[in-house]
Amino acid sequence: MIPSAIWDPEFECMHVDALRELQLERLRKVVRRAWGHVPYYRQKMQVVGVTPSDIKTLEDIRKLPFTTKDDLRLCYPYEAFAVPLEKVVRIHASSGTTGKSTVVGYTRKDMEVWTNVVARFLVAGGLTSKDIVHIAFSYGLFTGGFGLHYGAERVGASVIPVSAGRSERQIQIMRDFGSTALVCTPSYAVYLGELVQGMGLKPGDLKLRVGFFGAEAWSNRVREEIQAKLGLFATDNYGLSEIIGPGVAGECVHQNGMHISEDHFYPERIDPDTCEPVGPDRRGELVLTTLTKEAIPLIRYRTRDICMLMPGTCPCGRTGARMSKITGRSDDMLIIRGANIYPSQVEEVLLDVKGTLPHYQLVVSREGALDRLEVRVEVSEEFFADEMKKLNELDRQIEHKLENVLGIRASVKLVEPRTIERSEGKAKRVLDLRPKE
Amino acid sequence: MIFNKTFECMDRAALRNLQGERLRDAVKRAYEHVPFYRSRLDAHGVKPSDIHGIEDIVKLPFTTKEDFRDTYPFGLFAVPLREIVRVHASSGTTGKPTVVGYTKEDIDTWAETIARTLGCGGGTADDILQVAYGYGLFTGGLGLHYGGEKLGAMVIPMSGGNTKKQIMLMQDFGTTLLACTPSYSLQIAEEAAADDIDLKALKLRVGYFGAEPWTEAMRAKIEERLPVKAIDIYGLSEVMGPGVASECLEQDGLHVFEDHYFPEIINPTTGEPVAAGQKGELVYTCLTKRSTPLLRYRTRDISSLDEKPCPCGRTSRRMARITGRTDDMLIIRGVNVFPSQIETVLMKVEGIEPHYVIVVDKTGALDELEIKVEVSEQLFSDEIRKLEELRARIFEEMRSVLSLSAKITLVEPKTIERTLGKAKRVIDKREVK
Amino acid sequence: MKVRQLSIFMENRAGRLAEIMQSLGDAGINIRALSLADTSDFGILRLIVSQVDKALEVLRKAGHTVSLTDVVAVEVPDHPGGLASVLTPLREAGVNVEYMYAFVEKATDKAVVIFRFEETEAALKVLAGARISVLPAETVYKL
């Protein structure tokens, strides 16, 4: 354990009774706002016969309908907004299950909340204003880079917005600039750790002290590996762009569960099949309600992430519930190098190439520390050409489109017909060869 | 829209006073807090007390890109590291990048000058700005981003690349302002045309184009294909990033934000100031930058300064479009590339001969970089696989060092002319100069 | 004058070529010429066979991706500079050769080379103009 402070003790350590009161007050407000300003929500509520005045206690939240990624897709681009566009100062987007992305907007106040909740987990994990924060998340529409960037800036640290990729240069910068904090996905941290050793660097060549890793699930074994290889103290954090981005929850230096910023995000856990609540010690799908978000208030958003809640109170003094690491998904989404990938996205790309859908398979494997995505495509006569350059061109074309749509590089492998394993006549869409923890 | 009337429309005499005052402070800070500057000024026989007004700037020695390299990484900082809240970097001539730091105040200044830039092109708080510059250590993306935020516009941090998505967002989100390199705007137009998308139907109205030199002919082309007023913006990371100067809607020279960045034009050979209005090398001094009070930085860009008042009401001098460079730096898709970087990479790779040619060309709107390199006799076998691997390796190394995808062409041994001088190794076929 | 060539998509896996040859052999089909182009992952096997339609049926039935391509069989004088004498008029006429490979057998004392052109018709005209002998398809299948 390393020393750490508390960024926002008034809310992070709020007495549970006061917290529940605050949550209820905010919940009633957000439901009224959604009802009043988002016709889509109002309709959904009317369908199940609930009005804002029905929300009298926190338990009444169960009367409200869930929101899903599909709802957000139907609201694309601005239908889910509860404020006029001139109040929106930032737009981000995450991958959708198909073509159009999921749009998220932020008002000035939402940016303030986001920056603040990120600052909370950074400080909880040991960051101070003296640190030099190396951000190796990509920037852009993805919320990872910007979320951590603004949070670290708020804490008063020096921010190096390195962005993703070019690993040797990352290490050169860490070494030359004396970076003390690292921000990236856990798998990339392992990869950097291996590279550091491979480059023959000694402990002490790097000044890394703390690390904040998120955007994909990881285990304690991986944590130990990262801590040993990079000589830093590693904490986990959780978030999703639909809710706000990183900052929904984060570990403190006790490294035992991620404190949810419950004054902004109200957590429930359900059985994904029955949609009934599950007990704290059982695995369940995390459902989140944004209590303060202005631009896009989300009510009972189904994250599809499976987790548990940690029992007891945390010695750090924070009162927010602690969620365990994510142990699975309740849909077919894959997380590869921090990017969210749906098989349906790959399908769309392939359909787009020749107008017909070949048999295909996503093969996810791990090479060293990094995930690798290979898309196998069976070469039917529609896809075949007698000339090498045309086949190579096809290969490249698919790779290029996939990179554009998925945001990560995938290698395409053209294979002979009927070589992809079928189950009940349908090709098995995903082969995940990554070692299970 | 004039974002900051007080400074942008300041009376010239008052502005010169302000510049003099700020220069005195900058020189004093440089001398007292940057050992590099202290010894440079001492060697030059100048003391901070010799600087009375802005006219005394000519007494100061120049700063060059090499000085950044020699003081790498933080040797030019005038404040302790804990006051630095941001670090950016640009490509250096060889291995090490050029590092720049920012204090909180510097970030504010930077955002302010970019908000002014956006205002110069008519942007307001009600606009939707799509930033298609790359984010990261490159100053383009984050510079425009913070400026858009300062202006109060809605910012879409799209970052570079993925042209189809760029167009989709413009359509779906109703983007009104676009920031990218001028050549990328044409790429967007081409892609849209190929997909039968009518860009004229978009809400787009202003484009802020910089990070590479362009011409009036290109402006005409852009304005014909995209429904925008095309505004030329200028900046470089050593000075601050974008936002050093910007065209207004008159599109007749770039207003320099002179209260922060003081411009001079010198003869690149003698280092002497040129006559008013003459062409020469652009030199900038950062009057207010806290992290690094950069003195007389030689940009290597060729321009001239126009002192005539502008109908827009801004009183600052206007710099002419960049018409060339005084060194061998190439700007390819907005990325600065030095031939020496390419050579450094090639020398590290086994199996190739030290004979190469760099070809820069355009396919459609976009710059293409091709590196032709000779393969050694041993490797030039009929094993395509080995050659493919070698090519892939050079490609990756180049991408890592240059941040650019270059086409790597392996050629047979002894096919590249041996007597090529260094300059002849670069063949720039782009028409735009 | 156009010869029908079979092109088969093939992964670079051990034994793949043998399997294809076996199934053709079992069907009593003779292979007249063959070329293999490959990258690290996959290859294209190109065949000239005695019974094109039957081979096509056999291969498709066995689950292979097959296509038919028109190629041209050109007689090339078997002496130094022989191939150049064929290529020169093509180059002068701006006709591009996609790929070419040599035939195993000879019809006369001349060698036979299979050409795939970007534009087959244009190439045939050039070859006729230069009085270069092109073998009829029937001759090629029976060689």
Q: Do B342 and B377 belong to one domain?
A: yes
Task: Tell me what the mean pLDDT of segment C66-95 comes to.
Answer: 89
Q: In this structure, what token pair is assigned to residue A7?
A: 């960024």
3-state secondary structure B221-246: HHHHHCCCEEEEEEEECCCCEEEEEE
**Residue from A377, A386, A387, A396 whose CB has the most chain C CBs within 10 Å, to mutate:** A386
Handedness of CA A10, A16, A17, A21 (dihedral sign): positive
Q: In this structure, what token pair is assigned to residue B153?
A: 């516009």
Q: In this structure, what token pair is assigned to residue A199?
A: 């480059």
- Structural contact between residues B283 and B298, judged by C-beta atoms closer than 8 angstroms: yes
Give the C-alpha separation, B205 to B225, whole Å: 12
Q: At what angle do helices B384-402 and A167-177 cross, to 10 degrees?
A: 30
Q: Do B297 and B318 belong to one domain?
A: yes
pLDDT of A422 reads: 78
pLDDT of B432 reads: 47
- Structural contact between residues A158 and B87, judged by C-beta atoms closer than 8 angstroms: yes
Q: Does residue B415 fall inside a structural domain?
A: yes
Please give the helix or strand (H or E) that residue A135 lies within, else none.
Answer: strand A132-135
- Structural contact between residues A332 and A272, judged by C-beta atoms closer than 8 angstroms: no
Q: Do B362 and B391 belong to one domain?
A: yes
- Count Cα atoms within 13 angstroms, Cβ side, for A407: 24
Per-residue pLDDT of chain A (437 residues; tens, 9 = 90+): 899 999 999 999 999 999 999 999 999 999 999 999 999 999 999 999 999 999 999 999 999 999 999 999 999 999 999 999 999 999 999 877 666 788 999 999 999 999 999 999 999 999 999 999 999 999 999 999 999 999 999 999 999 999 988 888 899 999 999 999 999 999 999 999 999 988 888 868 999 999 999 998 898 999 999 999 999 999 999 999 999 999 999 999 999 999 999 999 999 999 999 999 998 889 999 999 999 999 999 999 999 999 999 988 999 999 999 999 998 899 888 989 888 898 888 988 898 888 788 889 999 999 888 899 999 999 888 888 888 888 888 988 999 989 888 888 999 999 988 888 876 666 678 999 988 76
Residue B375 sits in a domain of what CATH number?
3.30.300.30
CATH class for domain A335-432?
alpha beta
- Grouping H, G, I as helix, E, B as strand and the rest as coil, residue B387 is helix
Q: Do B322 and B199 belong to one domain?
A: yes
**Residue from B382, B383, B384, B393 whose CB has the most chain C CBs within 10 Å, to mutate:** B384
- Grouping H, G, I as helix, E, B as strand and the rest as coil, residue A181 is strand
- Structural contact between residues A175 and A206, judged by C-beta atoms closer than 8 angstroms: yes
Q: What pLDDT, in 10s, does the model give residues C61-72?
A: 888 889 899 999
Q: Do B305 and B344 belong to one domain?
A: no
In this structure, the strands spanning B330-332 and A339-341 are unpaired
CB-based contact A384 C9, cutoff 8 Å? yes
For the structural domain made of A9-330, what CATH number should be given? 3.40.50.12780
What chain C holds in terms of domains, given with CATH numbers, is: 2-69 (3.30.2130.10), 71-142 (3.30.2130.10)
- Structural contact between residues B97 and B89, judged by C-beta atoms closer than 8 angstroms: yes
Above 70 in pLDDT, residue B384?
no
Q: Considering chain B, what percentage of its residues have pLDDT values greater than 90?
A: 71
Question: Which comes out higher in pLDDT, residue A384 or B150?
Answer: B150
Q: Do B391 and B295 belong to one domain?
A: no
Beta bridge partners of A208: none
Predicted ipTM > 0.85: yes
Q: In this structure, what token pair is assigned to residue A180?
A: 């003390």
Nearest to A77 among B73, B173, B399 (CB): B173
* Interacting residues of A56 by C-beta distance below 8 A, sequence separation 6+: none
**Nearest residue in B to A139, CA atom:** B135
Beta bridge partners of A287: A268, A302
Residue B306 sits in a domain of what CATH number?
3.40.50.12780
Q: Do B378 and B232 belong to one domain?
A: no
Q: Do B179 and B35 belong to one domain?
A: yes
Q: How many domains does chain B divide into?
A: 2
Partner C contacted by B275 (CB < 8 A): no
Q: Do B369 and B300 belong to one domain?
A: no
Q: In this structure, what token pair is assigned to residue B2?
A: 């004039």
Domain boundaries, chain A: 9-330, 335-432
pLDDT of B388 reads: 80
**Residue from A76, A132, A150, A177 whose CB has the most chain B CBs within 10 Å, to mutate:** A177
Give the C-alpha separation, B77 to B35, whole Å: 9
Q: What pLDDT, in 10s, does the model give residues B237-257?
A: 999 999 999 999 999 999 999
Q: What pLDDT, in 10s, does the model give residues B255-306?
A: 999 999 999 999 999 999 999 999 999 999 999 999 999 999 999 999 999 9
Residues of chain B positioned with their CB less than 8 A from the CB of C37: none
Q: Do B249 and B191 belong to one domain?
A: yes
CB-based contact C66 A416, cutoff 8 Å? no
Give the C-alpha separation, B307 to B276, whole Å: 8
pLDDT of B390 reads: 84
Give the C-alpha separation, C80 to C78, whole Å: 7
Domain extent at residue B316: 5-327
* Interacting residues of B387 by C-beta distance below 8 A, sequence separation 6+: B375, B379, B380, B410
pLDDT of A97 reads: 67
- Structural contact between residues B87 and B100, judged by C-beta atoms closer than 8 angstroms: yes
- Grouping H, G, I as helix, E, B as strand and the rest as coil, residue C11 is strand
Other Cβ atoms within 10 Å of A331 Cβ, number: 14
Closest CA to A183 of A221, A142, A242, A244: A142
Q: Do B318 and B339 belong to one domain?
A: no
pLDDT of A355 reads: 76
> How close is the nearest chain A Cα to the Cα of C9, in Å?
7
* Interacting residues of A216 by C-beta distance below 8 A, sequence separation 6+: A185, A186, A187, A335, A337, A338
